[in-house]
A and B are shown apart, each in its own frame.
Chain A
Amino acid sequence: MKTAKTMFVVFAALLLAAGSLLVGKGTAAEDKVSFYANITAIEPIMDAFSKSTGIKGEYTRISTAKFLSTVFTEFEANKLMADVIQAPLPVLEMLKEKGVIAPYVSPEAAKYPEWTNKNGIQLFGIEYVGIIYNRELVKPEDVPKRYQDLADPKWKDKIVMANPASHATTICWLIGLRENVFASDQEWREFLKGLAANRPMFVASFGPTPAPIESGEKQIGISMPKYIVTKAPAPLDWARVENQPLMGTPRAMGISSKAPHPQAAKKFMDYWLSKDAMTLLANDVGEYVLAPGVFPPIAGMDKAQVIPIRELADDEIARWGEEFKKIFAIR
């Protein structure tokens, strides 16, 4: 019995001790930079940065839902490993409010429109959302020419979109329509009623929206035009809404106030905002970037008007989520 007990003590001790011994040692050397981001598929930029500067770029991808919780937890425990942080603007604003973001204005920012600099937080792109459709199933004459066309009963049971009761970006986008597209609140509500009557299929986020359109399970959806690039050769196209803008939440970035590698962080941010990096982001990932003259390789996108949505506080998002729950009869 004694042996059994000893075995246990050794087992438990080994498990914990081995872990503590093998924990990687932090280094203050400026030979690497840690980038926390919710933007996807950016490995080509990380590689290009490493080649260009000799500094190793480490990319930690955190979903928007876990972003604040993760960063605040690490920050409060003095374990924040991020040097540079990228997230939707409202998230960066909340981080800045708690002292997580240090103000830094990159020299590269001078090439961007003035409104993209938010006192140390730099905007570099827009998470643009629009109407995506299957060009093999939707006839050219049926492609919506205005957002209002989505309420046409011909789209009944043919639409896919992220859940408007919970998906923050979709909620913001619908509010964006109200403030930037529709002439009145009543007109906007009529549109929502029509859209709801078409019984769109709801998915958790934008990620699962293109697959049903590609496969023909649905024909059209509210989604991100960048999928036309990342999902090529899928038969996806975007509806060129006439005299109406494409809208999205601004993508923002900043340097951590407790950056373990502050100099490398500045170099990374300078590189990220450079035309080279933004061209990679537009070409490889289909992102809509704010570097002047750089556009994703999507036909007609250079002519589109793409605007940022007003920042909505979480309370406002939750309130509208409840409202959309009723309008779309989600429960």
Chain B
Amino acid sequence: MTGRHSGLTLLLIAIVGFLTICPVIMLIFGSLSEGLTASGKFTLAKYITAYTDPALLEVIWNTVIFVGGAATTATALALFLAYLNIRTDIPFKFIFGIISIIPMMIPHLLFSVSWVLLLNPSNGILNLILQQAFSLHHAPFNIYSLPGMVLVEGLLDLPIAYLIIAPAMASFDASLEESSRVCGASTAKTIFRITLPVLRPAILAAFILCVIRGLASFAVPSVIGMPGRIYVLATHLYQMVSTGFAADYGKAAAVGMSVLLASIILIYLYRYLTSASDRFVTIAGRGYKPTIIKLQRSKIPLFLILGFLSFILIILPVVVLFYTSLVPYSMVPSMRALSMMGLKHWIEVLNDPISLLSLKNSLFLGVVGATLGIVLSIFVAYVIVKVRSRSAGILESLSFLSFSFPGIVIGVGFMWFFVRTPLYATVWALLIGYIATYLPYGIRPLSSAFVQIHDHLEESSLVAGASYLTTLRRIVIPLLVPGIVSGWVLMATMFVRELSLSVVLSRPGTEVLAVQILRFSEDGLWGKLSALGIMMIGVSTLLVLLVTLIGRWFRPVDR
């Protein structure tokens, strides 16, 4: 490691460490303290109680299936969508690109509820249609099942996988595939022997990120798992803290430590599997050409498959949401329901000062937080990919610390930390907490993009007399634009709908959208909740469109 790199790495370790270690340390203290805060007498009792629970084994098994299944579903779907959208001439690709990231913009609670309305075994809309169409006596699908949980979580994690794989796919050098074809390989063989192996870092990064997100997810296990009596780690933790009035988050943190450990092992595994980084470089000094593949005869069938999948998996739940926002209460679609539709919930939300304030605060946190987060991510990703020293490994693990903790406890960790600073109960605590927790959303797409840029490009620039900063600004960053756009979109949409930290740190004046949505949900006000949820999707869509257009303008290959 050169001196200049070690200096940058240490500086980044200090910044990222400060951002992410503090809440985790507070959680460690909390898990080892008597009482409900992080400052009690030392005890191991919380670990003993948490790990001797006989239900834990079954919970772990369910969690492995849930998380593994969801991550596989998300990654496979993302690969399929990204390949068609970026590498082929499939029509309406811009729209499909947006559709792929819509689940990122929807509060997970709402998306899960939409699926319950579609596929619950009593009167799920899709089940009723299928029962009538095929004269079935029983509902063909039951969303309250492990496959149901895998499907919905997989769809919710799809944007994460898509936004990591898409930039790598965009900077893929098609000459590798052309060489394969020239040598006589079929398209399928080329995909499995050339395309997928070259994309391995992005695919693994997407899978691992989805696994970690799945471990932290609460909405799907709560809305779909609990009614089906299927408990995973998140609902196990919830049960642990919610039985009784004195919720002990220290005990939940004790279980959370295992999740943290598993995440760190996964990160090191990822680094090991992608250690020969040169093999994945696709943008070198010569011949970088992301060619579009002509689908020819398979164009229409693939377009129809993609359209059908997008409609069933993503558009339909959003339509259900829109419908829920128009009917006076939860009702199955019927002529009567149609006749009762109105804008009551929308008007109430638009006249509610707290909802409007939360829209404003979330927009601010989305734009400012994602921008600051992405600046930090560019430097961190650079060190992680290009330096690859032991310190870089530490930096990468640090960036995942807060992210790896189950959402139900990390917010409390931040509260225990921020209460000791002047930032407590301000919007700045939310901003710093968001960046610290969701840093991997910025780092992962950028790392995948960095992996594919050869050092020769930077070296040529430096040899030609450009400063390091000029090289970064004129050579590296323009090639990173797809990664920057992906990272910004992931962070901004996450910040607009963030709940885990907000529910603990938000106070009067710093209300945010997700907290307001949770309030409506706790009061059972699904109409208002859906109306505000759609406004949230609208805000996020605007941000995504804006940054995608800016990204297109900056991309050198498009100009």
Contacts and interface: CB of A to CB of B under 8 A. Distances in A.
Contacts of B223: 208
Interface in A251-300: none
A207 B245 contact: no
B419 to A, nearest CB: 4
Interface stretch (A111-119, A139-147, A166-174, A302-310): A166-174
A310 to B, nearest CB: 14
Given A214-B329, A218-B122, A203 B432 contact: no
B122 A157 contact: yes
B465 interface: no
Nearest to A249: B245
A40 B372 contact: no
B508 A73 contact: no
Contact of A81 (B246, B328, B421, B507): B507
Interface residues of A, number: 80
Interface string A175-216: 000000000000000000000000001111111111110111
Given A1-B468, A69-B412, A204-B226, A11 B375 contact: yes
B393 to A, nearest CB: 20
Nearest to B329: A234
A211 B245 contact: no
Contact of A215 (B18, B331, B429): B331
A73 B524 contact: no
A202 B226 contact: yes
B31 to A, nearest CB: 13
B145 interface: no
Contacts of A59: 508
Interface stretch (B8-16, B65-73, B180-188, B543-551): B8-16
A77 to B, nearest CB: 4
Nearest to A68: B246
Nearest to A219: B122
A203 B35 CA distance: 28
A231 B423 contact: no
Counting chain B CB atoms within 10 Å of each CB, which of A205, A206, A207 scores highest?
A207
A18 B428 contact: yes
A102 interface: no
B256 to A, nearest CB: 15
B117 interface: yes
Contact of A69 (B37, B231, B472, B522): B37
A314 B8 contact: no
Given A40-B523, A234-B330, A331 B55 contact: yes
A205 B420 CA distance: 32
Contacts of A73: 37-38, 415-416, 419
Interface string A1-38: 10111001101100110111011100000000010000
A321 B243 contact: yes
Interface in B187-205: none
Contacts of B467: 3
A123 interface: no
B387 interface: no
A331 B238 contact: no
Counting chain A CB atoms within 10 Å of each CB, which of B36, B424, B526 scores highest?
B36
Interface in B488-523: 503-504, 507-509, 519, 521-523
A1 B431 CA distance: 28
Interface string B229-254: 10100000011011111110100000
Contacts of B305: none
In the complex, which range does the number of interface residues on chain B fall in? 35 or more
A53 interface: no
Interface string B349-385: 0000010000000000000000010011001000000
Contact of A163 (B120, B239, B421): B239
Contacts of B556: none
A248 interface: no
Given A76-B39, A321-B243, A331 B231 contact: yes
Contacts of B331: 214-216
Contacts of B238: 166, 204
Contact of A23 (B18, B246, B428): B428
Interface string A218-254: 1000000001001101100000000000000000000
A138 interface: no
Contact of B504 (A41, A58, A70, A76): A70
Given A72-B37, A79-B424, A318-B243, A211 B526 contact: yes
Contacts of B36: 68-69, 72
Contacts of B375: 11
Given A23-B422, A168-B244, A8 B12 contact: yes
A19 B522 contact: no
B411 to A, nearest CB: 8
Given A168-B243, A317-B245, A321-B243, A1 B330 contact: no
B307 interface: no
- Kindly list the 5 A-B residue pairs having the minimum CB-CB distance in the complex, ordered from nearest: A19-B428, A314-B244, A234-B329, A215-B330, A207-B522
27 contacts: A1-B7, A5-B11, A12-B18, A15-B428, A15-B431, A19-B422, A19-B428, A19-B429, A19-B431, A19-B432, A20-B423, A34-B508, A40-B519, A66-B504, A77-B420, A201-B144, A201-B227, A207-B523, A208-B223, A211-B113, A212-B330, A215-B332, A217-B120, A231-B329, A233-B329, A331-B55, A331-B229
Interface of B: 4, 7-8, 11-12, 15, 18, 35-39, 55, 58, 113, 116-117, 120, 122-123, 144, 222-223, 226-227, 229, 231, 238-239, 241-247, 249, 328-332, 354, 372, 375-376, 379, 412, 415-416, 419-426, 428-429, 431-432, 467-469, 472, 503-504, 507-509, 519, 521-526
